[in-house]
């Protein structure tokens, strides 16, 4: 494997706790999605540090692989990409406020225009700067977050025709339930979006780039492909829910590892960690692993999580601390320096993002995006 050296010191990883991102798997996932959507453009969604995989490195890769667009959540993410030399088109999907608009225009970052007021602010800022702003119009078809309601969208679209300093490059909406088994509500949202798009047909106007399909829709709503799709969690090799069909074959690109840093024997009746929530009824061996909720390994998994050491599963015991946790290995052997797999495979055993989500009472998205940036990312090539 080809490991990048930006966080390597004297041949060793700086922290014993780190994330390994398999770039070969990421590329294969990207190509599998490309095959699924045919000639449609791809907007790679890289928000929240590329779902924990590392914003800048993943951005460089998807641009090289032919991504047509990059999608992020906030302006700061887009500015990081621009300052790193990423020249690809970038859309900020989240809401904006007026004072941010000049930074969008100066850095050629595409703005989401989610209301008539926002669009007019964008037009005014661009006019004052003597520039044109690139925008995508956001239509709310059922999320009730940002975006103009589908039933009053004509006003926004008509206003856009009167904004000479605005280039309406795209128009989009977002599914609330495209990853569900019952697609009734998703199809209703799709119908609403298509009704809005008739505005351009009725006026014999060119239609902007249309996009609505997230990971769930890519998997099971091909009629929502339109001109561009927005793969998020699917690109990283994780399915958006257990209910979706596996019409695109992907593999997880992220492995999370640590190492044993301490070994001790604990007597029966001697509680472990904060709150004394666990104790053994017999003499047992435990090891300390330098990872905790400060790294994104949720405290809510205490006394439920499992890890892999030497290809075997062992339970985490006691409260997970900010920076450390304890694992019970019974009367088996483990040594300082032994690898501990938190997410990934070892010796035929496997712990998944979905496992951590179940133990934490959350979803895989939150597990991935909560892996703290203090956890180094190491990028590798090759696949097992």
Contacts of 333 (CB under 8 A, 6+ apart): 285, 310
Q: H or E element: which one contains 81? A: helix 75-83
Contacts of 244 (CB under 8 A, 6+ apart): 179, 216, 219, 220
* Catalytic, out of 151, 262, 274, 335: 274
314 among known catalytic residues = no
18 among known catalytic residues = no
Q: How far apart are the C-alpha atoms of 141 and 146, rounded to whole Å?
A: 10
Query: At which residue do the structure tokens 């679209």 appear?
Result: 157
| Crossing angle for the helix pair 75-83 and 55-65, to the nearest 10 degrees | 70
* Catalytic, out of 47, 118, 138, 257: 47
Q: What 8-state DSSP symbol labels residue 40?
A: -
User: 348-373 burial string, b = 16+ CB within 10 Å, else e?
Assistant: eeebebbbbbbbbeebbbbbbbbbbe
Q: H or E element: which one contains 43? A: strand 41-45
Rg (CA), the chain: 24
Q: Which of 81, 127, 118, 80 is nearest to 100 (CA)?
A: 118
With 0-12 / 13-18 / 19 or more C-beta atoms within 10 angstroms meaning exposed / middle / buried, residue 96 is: buried
Residues belonging to the active site = 47, 274
């Amino acid at each position: 494997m080809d490991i990048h050296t930006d966080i390597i010191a004297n041949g060793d990883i700086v922290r014993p706790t780190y994330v390994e991102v398999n770039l070969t798997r990421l590329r294969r996932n990207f190509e599998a999605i490309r095959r699924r959507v045919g000639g449609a453009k791809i907007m790679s969604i890289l928000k929240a540090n590329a779902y924990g995989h590392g914003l800048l490195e993943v951005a460089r890769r998807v641009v090289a692989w032919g991504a047509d667009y990059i999608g992020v959540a906030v302006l700061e993410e887009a500015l990081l990409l621009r300052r790193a030399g990423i020249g690809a088109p970038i859309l900020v999907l989240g809401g904006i406020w007026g004072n941010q608009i000049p930074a969008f225009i100066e850095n050629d970052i595409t703005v989401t225009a989610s209301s008539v007021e926002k669009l007019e602010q964008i037009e005014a800022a661009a006019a004052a700067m003597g520039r044109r702003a690139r925008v995508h119009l956001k239509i709310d078809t059922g999320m009730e977050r940002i975006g103009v309601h589908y039933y009053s969208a004509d006003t926004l679209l008509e206003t856009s025709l009167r904004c000479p300093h605005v280039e309406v490059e795209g128009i989009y909406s977002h599914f609330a339930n495209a990853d569900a088994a019952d697609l009734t509500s998703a199809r209703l949202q799709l119908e609403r979006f298509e009704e809005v798009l008739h505005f351009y047909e009725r006026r014999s106007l060119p239609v902007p780039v249309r996009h609505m399909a997230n990971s769930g829709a890519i998997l099971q709503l091909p009629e929502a492909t339109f001109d561009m799709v927005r793969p998020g969690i699917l690109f990283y090799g994780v399915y958006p829910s257990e209910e979706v069909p596996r019409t695109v074959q992907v593999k997880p690109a992220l492995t999370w590892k640590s190492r044993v840093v301490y070994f001790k024997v604990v007597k029966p009746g001697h509680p472990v960690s904060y709150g004394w929530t666990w104790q053994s009824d017999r003499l047992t061996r435990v090891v300390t692993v330098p990872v905790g909720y400060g790294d994104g390994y949720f405290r809510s998994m205490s006394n439920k999580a499992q890890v892999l050491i030497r290809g075997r599963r062992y339970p985490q015991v006691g409260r997970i601390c900010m920076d450390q946790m304890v694992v019970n290995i019974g009367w088996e052997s483990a040594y300082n320096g032994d690898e501990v797999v938190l997410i990934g495979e070892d010796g035929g055993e496997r712990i998944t993002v979905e496992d951590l989500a179940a133990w934490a009472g959350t979803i895989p998205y939150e597990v991935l995006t909560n892996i703290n940036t203090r956890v180094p990312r190491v990028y590798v090539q090759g696949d097992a």
